[in-house]
Amino acid sequence: MTGATGLRIADLTVTYPGPRTGGLGRRSPITAVRTVSLDVAPQETVALVGESGSGKSTIARAIVGLVTPASGTIEYDGVSLLDRRHRAQGRDIAMIFQDPRSSLNPRMSVEASIGEAWHAHPEAAPAGARTDPRRRRDAVVHLLGQVGLDPDVAGKRPTALSGGQCQRVSIARALALGPRLLICDEAVSALDVSVQAQVLQLLVSVREALSLSMLFITHDLGVVRQVADRVAVMRRGELVESADAQSLFAAPQHEYTRELLAAAVDLDVSR
C-alpha cells in the first residue's frame, strides 16, 4: 500500500492497579510496560522476547485495545489505535493467542467460529458468505486449506481436534478478516515441540504468501531464530535490547539476552 508505515509504538507505558495499601484501601499502580518504543514495518517480522511478566503480552493487548495505556502512542499506518473512532482499523491487525482451545467456542463448529468474524466485520466477508450457506462453506474450506486442514474440519467442534489443529483453526479465523499484521502471542508455546515447528513453519508460509507483517511474542529466543527479521528483548517492562536478528544472535549485547539465548530451544523450520 502506498504510504504504508506499519505499526509504530512510541513511549508506551501501561500500568495496572496494585494491591491495596493503607487504611483507605488505596492501590499503588504497578508499571507493566515502561516507555517502550517499537516499530514493525510492512512485511517485516519482529520478535518480542522476554520471560513471563516482562510486559510483552501487555504490549500486544494494548495494540488490540484490550488494555488502555497510561501514556504513549500506538499507530498503524499513521492512524492512532488509541482513538476509539479508529478501533475498526483493528481489522488490519489480527491476534493469535497462546491457548487455541480457550480462544475457540467449544459449542460452535469451526465453520461457525470463522463465520462469526464475518458477521462482526461484514466488509471483510467474501461475496455471499454472510447470507449464503454454500458460499460461506466454500470460503471457510478455502481458509482451512491455507492452513493445511482438510475440508471436513469445518463441521467439527474444537473438542474433536488436536491442539495443533485448533491453533491452525485460530490462524484461519485470524486470516478471515484479511489482516496485514499478525500478532502471535506465545502462539506455539502450548504445543508439543514437534507441533511447534509445524505451526511455526505454517506462520512463515502464510506470512510470505500473503505479504503480512508479524509481531511474534515468545519467551524462547530459539523459536524465532530462523523467522525474525528483528528481535526486541523485554525485561521487567523495559526494552533492553533491539537489533536485527543476525546481529543479535551472533553477538548479543545485554547480559539478559545472553541468558535467554543460553536457555533457547532451536526449532528448525526449514525442513
Position 183 scores a pLDDT of 95
What are the tens digits of pLDDT across the range 14-55? Answer: 998 877 666 566 777 899 999 999 999 999 999 999 999 999
Instruction: Answer yes or no: is pLDDT of 123 > 90.
Output: no
**Structurally, how many domains does the chain consist of?**
1
Residue 21 inside a domain? The answer is yes
Q: Which residue has the higher pLDDT, 267 or 1?
A: 267
Position 264 scores a pLDDT of 79
Amino acid sitting at position 201 = Q
Residue 166 inside a domain? The answer is no
| Residue ranges making up the domain that contains 253 | 7-102+182-262
Residue 218 inside a domain? The answer is yes
Residue 82 inside a domain? The answer is yes
CATH of the domain at 253: 3.40.50.300
Q: What percent of the chain has pLDDT over 70?
A: 92
Instruction: Answer yes or no: is pLDDT of 196 > 90.
Output: no
Residue 233 inside a domain? The answer is yes
Kindly indicate the confidence band of residue 241, based on its pLDDT and cuts at 50, 70 and 90.
very high
What are the tens digits of pLDDT across the range 180-189? Answer: 999 999 888 8
Residue 256 inside a domain? The answer is yes
> Stretch 207-236: mean pLDDT, rounded?
92
Kindly indicate the confidence band of residue 1, based on its pLDDT and cuts at 50, 70 and 90.
very low
Position 237 scores a pLDDT of 96
Residue 132 inside a domain? The answer is no
Joined grid coordinates for residue 41 = 514495518
What are the tens digits of pLDDT across the range 140-179? Answer: 999 999 999 999 999 999 999 999 999 999 999 999 999 9
Average pLDDT, the chain: 89
Residue 239 inside a domain? The answer is yes
Position 99 scores a pLDDT of 83
Kindly indicate the confidence band of residue 122, based on its pLDDT and cuts at 50, 70 and 90.
confident
What are the tens digits of pLDDT across the range 81-95? Answer: 988 655 555 578 999
Position 90 scores a pLDDT of 59
What are the tens digits of pLDDT across the range 61-81? Answer: 999 888 999 999 999 999 899
